[in-house]
Structure 1
Amino acid sequence: MEAPEKLLFGSTLGWQLEGDAVDVVDLDEEGEVFCKPCENVSATSGVELDKARPRENRMRGKARPQEKQPEELIREVPMVSGPYFYVSGSNGAGLVSIYCQSRGWQRIYDNRRQDYALKWCEIKCRETYYHFKEGEQLLYQIPNNGVLTSKTGLLSCLREQERMMKKTNRSSNPKLLKMEEFFPESFRLDLKEERNAFFELCKEEEIWICKPSCSNQGRGIFLLRNPTAATTLQAKLHSSEKDPPSKRVPCRAAQTRIVQRYIDQPLLLEGKKFDVRSYLLIACTAPYVLFFAQGYVRLTCSNYDATSDDLTVHLTNQHMQKKNSLYSQLKDKTVWRMEHFNSYINEKFGKTNGLPQDWVFTVFTKRMQQIMLQCFLAARHKLDRKLGYFDLIGCDFLIDENFKVWLLEMNANPALHTNCKVLRDIIPSIIYESLDLVLEIFTKCLQGQSVLPLKTLCHFVLLYNEDDSDLGQKQTWKLSTRTCRGRYLRPHTDSTGHFRSSPAKAADLSPGAQLPQKKECFTAYKGLSTNSPNHSTRATV
């Protein structure tokens, strides 16, 4: 990977770009954060994915004719009515394409087009957010979701929330947990005071885990097992600070890291370490509407050994497990359904640990939901809000041997690949119901209707509806004064020939992966009123 150019990281705002040389920042869960120039679009088949993005005209204040692109690079869009959608990358984009095409929507391949109804991109491009039309389009990923999904961003928000609770008397809101009840003790290494406090503390034989703030796939993670390892890290950080400017990489910010107390006595499943991936859907940001979705269990290939130096013993994500020599034999056994997990806990730990029946679907699920909501509430005042922004966030939880639930991290653009049987059954329904809910809520907002009840709500659970919220002080939320009409969600002309089969049938998926049968909300889009009210007077906190 080439070195980033002119990349500046804001404290917890996720990213910031300087100059014209750089266009995109990758915040995909499947890869480390990096910045690179946009490239020309690659034409692919309907459910295949664009390998690159078109270069934007970035001349500021100068008139410049748009460069002609070779015909083979941008597929000609059929002369049919919209709505249009654009997808790029390889993470879930094939399923998004199937979903949109099953609605009769037409895919476009030119990233510069601004008449899309839905845009789903792994990589954030500043031009996309600059040209986004609030109340008329849908855009995946809140631009500054890093305040919730980066390690330093989440840590900062939770600490700020903790300070506020201490000032205002925690008993006024007993639903909020103390950080120590769900979040491992953490220190930021980019802040001198915290860094020194950590190295003062790290003088005993304890295990700490060091993580880059915005990296995924286990990249850049290592364990600090003893004071000697901590002293070595301290010396390295001190040395890098003293490097003269001539030795530093130009235009590159130092990688922000955190250290967390390692939970070295986790609950084990058949001797293996595991964590649970669940989903937080921010279906709408104006007003905020949030949902919880069950995910799956991720296990390691090898039995757990706290003293092992093999990271595949400690990190459960699929990218890391692929490095284990046993992965090809055990791939399907490294992912469990939640039903399988629940049955195992009932059988192995129910009586011996005094757990209630179906602990996974009662106590554990409720705890995950409580923690997700608390993290969102800590960050909600910092997130960018526009009608049409939505986000799907992967939340990873660990259970220790005392059945205490810990939040490990929250991930932007979570992995939506279907490389094993369990994921082929789970991931499609996650994507389909997410888009169902996003579209239904968007439509109701445009028509000035109440969000509830929701016809497309099936397996997801409503966590938070800002219009009906009693958490905190209520205040009026004002959107842009420009009238929102959702025009790009309406067909441009009358058209026939749109296939209306279910996404599952279009993809020829297994029965377990089919879209849940429910009433469609999409018929509302043909009848969207051109006199939809302005939303500046509707949503309240």
Structure 2
Amino acid sequence: MARMKVSAGHRGPPRLKEREPRACIRFKCALTNTILDVLRQRPGWVEVKDEGEWDFYWCDVSWLRENFDHTYMDEHVRICHFRNHYELTRKNYIVKNLKRFRKQLEREAGKLEATKCDFFPKTFEMPSEYHLFVEEFRKYPGITWIMKPVGRSQGRGIFLFRKLKDIIDWRKDGVRADDQKDETQVENYVAQRYIENPYLIGGRKFDLRVYVLVMSYIPLKVWLYRDGFARFSNTRFTLNSIDDHYVHLTNVAVQKTAPDYDPEKGCKWMIQRFRRYLTAKHGAEAVEVLFADMDNIFIKSLQSVQKTIISDKHCFELYGYDILIDQNLKPWLLEVNASPSLTASSQEDYELKCRLLKDTLHIVDMEGRLTGKEKRVGGFDLMWNDGPVSRVEGNADTPVNASFLTNTHLGYNNDRKKQLKQLFKSLQTQQKL
């Protein structure tokens, strides 16, 4: 159970061992969307209101900031964020951590290994790196840059520019009145080189939302979900109108305000459809390389914060990775979200998020059913367990030759119901033995 810290003499119910099966799991949920539906439908889980003691809390990050350090948690208790998740999910911190990690890799493993971190567009923190940015800007006159506020989401506060004058105007404006309520002051932005040659489908730009579940940072244990989606802009791509957000920003929050947006049709493809499209156009081999490059992004970005994020056994985190692909089939990391939207934009989207969240809860395993040796649970595949996990059955968790395949199946068929049925049947058989 979890409660505010009290004196050592406080007596509660007898403690259960960490992995002992539980008949009743008390949960709290700060959100009112898909996750609340999933939690309420889960057998043996009971919702707790207000100040009641809980075993599981799907909290928001503001609760974490205000309460984490003052909350006592028994061994079995779980919450859905790491204490300082922002080291990965704040735009300025991820830049700092990736730059540091790249230098470390170059020192320890050489330049070739360090190039595996070259998946983030050239980025400067503003205003602290303004003069470095100006140097870079003048080296490449005429290219497009994008300004993003470090602590906001859903496309708010973003703009594109090609002239230093636009930045000077921005600096003079200082804090914009409509953004005052946000937790982060608007002066803190990143200026990032804009990818001017995005891969287009039907003339439109898109990015990918991919779900990565981290159960532990030390050791690093990472699961990758098979489902995800491509988010398309509503308007055909052009560099002639850099002020048009409907062309350049793929966030659903932005696109759904377009005058001709169709809520039934939406602007999303399931990632399976996207993978089939690319395979038909470029061949299976090129697509395997692209998806392996994305696997590299997930792992290297997490390794860059592995020693910085406080790895607490009570914590797990479901991240939403946003990936852009260019015309050369090179993937670029745009950002990582600690609170990926769980609000559904369509029935298909609702079903995807329900699957994702049900399988997340299976892996968190409050019920204590898993052995801890599983390589697949529902739609999740274990891709890293203190080292790469092999797609081949057995203990081949260390690559010994070029034929090593990581245990990832992003964009493949998600036959999760069949797999879960077999998994839990097998676990029940083992328990009987």
**TM-score interval, smaller chain:** 0.7 to 0.9
TM-score by length of 2: 0.78
Determine the C-alpha separation between the residues in 1 that align with 2:207 and 2:330.
Answer: 13
Q: Deviations over 1:290-313 (max 9, x none)?
A: 111241110011111222221121
Q: Deviations over 1:385-413 (max 9, x none)?
A: 22120000000111111211111110111
Determine the C-alpha separation between the residues in 2 that align with 1:214 and 1:281.
Answer: 22
1:335 deviation in Å?
0.5
Contact in 2 for aligned 1:281/1:434 (Cα 8 Å): yes
Q: Does 1:407 align with 2:339?
A: no
The residue matched to 2:100 in structure 1 has which SS? helix
Contact in 1 for aligned 2:80/2:315 (Cα 8 Å): yes
Q: Deviations over 1:343-393 (max 9, x none)?
A: 32234x32xxxxx32744x22221111111000000011111221200000
Q: Deviations over 1:259-312 (max 9, x none)?
A: 100012211111111001101101234543211124111001111122222112
1:346 to 269, 279, 287: 279
Q: Deviations over 1:126-168 (max 9, x none)?
A: 2245214152201111121000011011111101101212322
User: Size of the alignment, in residue pairs?
Assistant: 379
Structure 2 residue identity aligned to 1:457: V
Q: Does 1:121 align with 2:59?
A: yes
Contact in 2 for aligned 1:336/1:422 (Cα 8 Å): no
Q: Does 1:397 align with 2:323?
A: yes
Instruction: Point out where structure 2 has 5 or more consecutive residues left out of the alignment.
Output: 8-22, 390-396, 399-413
1:296 to 225, 229, 238: 229
Determine the C-alpha separation between the residues in 2 that align with 1:322 and 1:513.
Answer: 31
Q: Which residue of 2 aligns with 1:95?
A: 37
Determine the C-alpha separation between the residues in 1 that align with 2:215 and 2:4.
Answer: 32
Q: Which residue of 1 aligns with 2:92?
A: 152
Structure 1 residue identity aligned to 2:87: V
Is the alpha carbon distance of 1:284 and 1:252 closer, same or farther for their aligned partners in structure 2, counting shifts above 3 Å?
Answer: closer
Determine the C-alpha separation between the residues in 2 that align with 1:512 and 1:175.
Answer: 35
Determine the C-alpha separation between the residues in 1 that align with 2:144 and 2:52.
Answer: 51
Determine the C-alpha separation between the residues in 1 that align with 2:368 and 2:142.
Answer: 53
Determine the C-alpha separation between the residues in 1 that align with 2:251 and 2:329.
Answer: 21
Is the alpha carbon distance of 1:364 and 1:134 closer, same or farther for their aligned partners in structure 2, counting shifts above 3 Å?
Answer: farther
Q: Deviations over 1:77-102 (max 9, x none)?
A: xxxx732111122343323323xx43
Is the alpha carbon distance of 1:306 and 1:253 closer, same or farther for their aligned partners in structure 2, counting shifts above 3 Å?
Answer: closer
Bigger shift: residues 512-521 or 422-431: 512-521
Q: Does 1:225 align with 2:165?
A: no
Structure 2 residue identity aligned to 1:216: S
Q: Which residue of 1 aligns with 2:351?
A: 425
The residue matched to 2:206 in structure 1 has which SS? strand
Instruction: Point out where structure 1 has 5 or more consecutive residues left out of the alignment.
Output: 1-55, 62-80, 241-247, 351-355, 472-510, 528-541
1:373 to 299, 302, 307: 299
Task: Give 1:260-339 correspondences, 5 Å limit.
Answer: 260-285=192-217, 287-294=219-226, 295-308=228-241, 309-327=243-261, 329=262, 331-339=264-272
Q: Which residue of 2 aligns with 1:500?
A: none
2:73 to 120, 128, 133: 133
Structure 2 residue identity aligned to 1:422: E
Query: Larger C-alpha radius of gyration, 1 or 2?
Result: 1
Structure 2 residue identity aligned to 1:398: L
Q: Deviations over 1:145-201 (max 9, x none)?
A: 000011011111101101212322426xx665444x31100000131xx21111233
1:414 deviation in Å?
0.3
Is the alpha carbon distance of 1:219 and 1:468 closer, same or farther for their aligned partners in structure 2, counting shifts above 3 Å?
Answer: closer
1:522 deviation in Å?
13
Structure 2 residue identity aligned to 1:207: T
Determine the C-alpha separation between the residues in 2 that align with 1:409 and 1:396.
Answer: 5
Q: Which residue of 2 aligns with 1:106?
A: 46
Determine the C-alpha separation between the residues in 1 that align with 2:384 and 2:132.
Answer: 37
The residue matched to 1:202 in structure 2 has which SS? helix
Contact in 1 for aligned 2:35/2:354 (Cα 8 Å): no
Task: Give 1:386-535 correspondences, 5 Å limit.
Answer: 386-439=312-365, 451-454=372-375, 457-466=377-386, 517-518=420-421, 519-520=423-424
Structure 2 residue identity aligned to 1:460: F
Q: Which residue of 1 aligns with 2:146?
A: 209
Give the root-mean-square deviation of aligned CA atoms: 3.5
1:196 to 124, 131, 135: 131
Q: Which residue of 2 aligns with 1:357?
A: 284
1:516 deviation in Å?
6.1
1:521 deviation in Å?
9.2
Is the alpha carbon distance of 1:144 and 1:325 closer, same or farther for their aligned partners in structure 2, counting shifts above 3 Å?
Answer: same
Identity of aligned residues (%): 24
Q: Which residue of 2 aligns with 1:34?
A: none
Is the alpha carbon distance of 1:392 and 1:252 closer, same or farther for their aligned partners in structure 2, counting shifts above 3 Å?
Answer: closer
Determine the C-alpha separation between the residues in 1 that align with 2:113 and 2:107.
Answer: 16
Is the alpha carbon distance of 1:166 and 1:252 closer, same or farther for their aligned partners in structure 2, counting shifts above 3 Å?
Answer: closer
Determine the C-alpha separation between the residues in 2 that align with 1:105 and 1:57.
Answer: 22
1:465 deviation in Å?
1.1
Task: Give 1:229-240 correspondences, 5 Å limit.
Answer: 229-236=166-173
1:228 deviation in Å?
2.8
Contact in 1 for aligned 2:378/2:416 (Cα 8 Å): no
